[in-house]
Amino acid sequence: MGLAALTGARPAFATSSAGPGITKGDVAILNFLAAAELIETDLWIQYCELAAHNKPYGDALNVLEDELVTYTCDVAHDEQSHELFINAFLSANGFADQPGCISHSSEQHGARGSADRLTNLMKVTVDTS
């Protein structure tokens, strides 16, 4: 079942009006959304790492709002589930996942070093190549 069938609307870039299905336009939109979720996930995971493993930063967050460290990590997991869901939907319908880009992790105390970073919070960079 394609996105058009879920919403009852005709796909924006449909090549034909015959039956439900995923069009090239649907796939393009989902790939764009998956990429956005991937970047958002990467950022939120770094926020979570800093909040959970850098005590002064975590304490400062909790001054703003009690349990903000927990909230930050919960959002990181939510964003990751969005990314995984979109890519699983594409894969289940015969469209391969898009590989991620590699960047360097934040070097801030509390951030976990990872070769899988798309973003760097301390340098506010995003590699979308």
pLDDT tens digit sequence for 71-115: 999 999 999 899 889 988 888 888 865 444 333 444 555 555 555
The DSSP code for 119 is E
C-alpha pair distances (Å), 55 with each of 27, 31, 36, 69, 109: 42, 37, 29, 10, 10
Cα–Cα distance between 111 and 34 in angstroms, integer? 24
Cα–Cα distance between 74 and 23 in angstroms, integer? 33
pLDDT tens digit sequence for 26-63: 988 998 898 888 888 888 988 899 999 999 999 999 99
pTM listed for this prediction: 0.63
Cα–Cα distance between 75 and 24 in angstroms, integer? 31
